[in-house]
């Protein structure tokens, strides 16, 4: 999670809204729950009961020396979300809806909720989707081949053409470059510390590039990863092949 120093006069809700747009501190559904901590769960839907998948539910937990840590959760295809590892206290939560362009999110709801230690609190949100990105949010699960560059700012997966999920309607002219790339995130089923990364050449910024064949779920289009600049996200659940890139990788 990203730690931010609290500036005088800046409202907690505003900070949460910015974090939700940037996707810097997202805690996804299914992440581990800290022992003894509280949990907020529920749904985010519109007035007719349809799920709003492009929302983010966030709160900022104040810590020592004036620092705050954002805890967030995103709804799944049914509109169900969860925010883990919360202290027992009354916290203000905000619901932000992502827009079409980066940094174009909208604060659509806000309320305080009493969190109980070691238990789950249920909170449903009914919000307007008027300011949300209107594109259908797709989830594609299968085995993908392509090239992966890890790193906090540089993480990206570019699939082989035969395995690409991108369609022209995804763009809406919001991604002038690298429209096919995805921010890669590993599911807890993969022990990253046990992955043996091969020795490969690095680019001028020192970033390595690997050929991978892995299984996972691509989600998007939207704003994912560092500064929300990746149009897709891939949640990797199994790593099938990892090696240095070659000439005929995508043949």
In the predicted structure, residue 28 carries a pLDDT above the cut 80: no
Residue intervals in the chain for CATH 2.60.40.1120: 3-126
- Which of 23, 14, 49, 19 lies closest to 222, judged by CA? 23
Three-class SS state of 242:
strand
Instruction: Specify the pLDDT at position 137.
Output: 85
- The mean per-residue pLDDT over the stretch 196-206 comes to 91
In the predicted structure, residue 2 carries a pLDDT above the cut 70: no
In the predicted structure, residue 70 carries a pLDDT above the cut 80: yes
- The mean per-residue pLDDT over the stretch 53-76 comes to 87
In the predicted structure, residue 1 carries a pLDDT above the cut 80: no
Q: Could you write out the DSSP letters of every residue in 198-240? A: PP--B-TTS-B-EEEEEEEEEEESS-BSGGG-BSEEEEEEEEE
Percent of the chain with pLDDT over 70: 80
- Which of 40, 16, 196, 221 lies closest to 135, judged by CA? 221
Per-residue pLDDT tens over the stretch 115-148: 998 899 999 999 998 888 888 888 999 999 999 9
Instruction: Specify the pLDDT at position 189.
Output: 82
What is this structure's pTM? Answer: 0.68
Q: Could you tell me where the beta strands, DSSP code E, fall in 33-136? A: 38-45, 55-62, 67-73, 80-86, 90-97, 106-114, 120-122, 125-126
Tokens coding 206: 């020192």
Relative to beta strand 210-220, strand 182-186 is: unpaired
- Which of 235, 222, 240 lies closest to 140, judged by CA? 235
In the predicted structure, residue 50 carries a pLDDT above the cut 80: yes
State yes or no: cis peptide before 221, omega within 30 of 0: yes
12 or 52, higher pLDDT: 52
Q: Could you write out the DSSP letters of every residue in 8-57? A: TT--HHHHHHHHHHHTSSB--TTPPPPTT-EEEEEEEE-TTS-B-TTEEE
- Which of 69, 24, 56, 5 lies closest to 227, judged by CA? 24
Spell out the residues 6+ positions from residue 204 whose beta carbon is closer than 8 angstroms to its own.
Answer: none
The rounded distance, in Å, linking the Cα atoms of 42 and 175 is 32
In the predicted structure, residue 23 carries a pLDDT above the cut 60: no
CATH class of 3-126: mainly beta
- Which of 37, 132, 116, 28 lies closest to 80, judged by CA? 28
- The mean per-residue pLDDT over the stretch 198-212 comes to 92
């Amino acid at each position: 999670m990203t730690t931010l120093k609290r500036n005088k006069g800046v409202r907690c809700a505003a900070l949460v809204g910015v974090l939700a747009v940037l996707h810097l501190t997202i805690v996804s559904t299914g992440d581990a729950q800290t022992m003894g901590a509280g949990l907020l769960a529920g749904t985010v839907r519109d007035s007719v009961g349809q799920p709003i998948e492009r929302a983010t539910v966030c709160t900022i937990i104040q810590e020592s020396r004036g620092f705050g840590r954002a805890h967030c959760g995103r709804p799944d295809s049914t509109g169900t979300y969860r925010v883990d590892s919360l202290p027992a206290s009354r916290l203000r939560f905000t619901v932000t809806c992502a827009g079409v362009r980066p940094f174009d999110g909208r604060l659509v709801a806000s309320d305080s909720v009493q969190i109980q230690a070691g238990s789950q609190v249920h909170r449903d949100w009914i919000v307007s989707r008027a300011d949300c990105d209107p594109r259908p949010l797709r989830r594609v699960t299968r085995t993908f081949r392509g090239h992966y560059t890890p790193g906090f700012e540089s993480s990206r997966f570019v699939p082989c053409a035969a395995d690409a999920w991108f369609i022209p309607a995804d763009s809406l002219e919001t991604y002038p470059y690298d429209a096919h790339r995805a921010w890669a995130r590993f599911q807890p089923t993969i022990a990253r510390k046990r992955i043996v990364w091969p020795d490969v050449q690095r680019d001028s910024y020192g970033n390595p590039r690997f050929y991978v064949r892995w299984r996972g779920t691509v989600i998007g289009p939207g704003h994912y990863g560092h500064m929300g600049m990746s149009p897709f996200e891939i949640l990797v659940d199994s790593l099938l092949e990892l090696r240095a890139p070659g000439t005929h990788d995508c043949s």
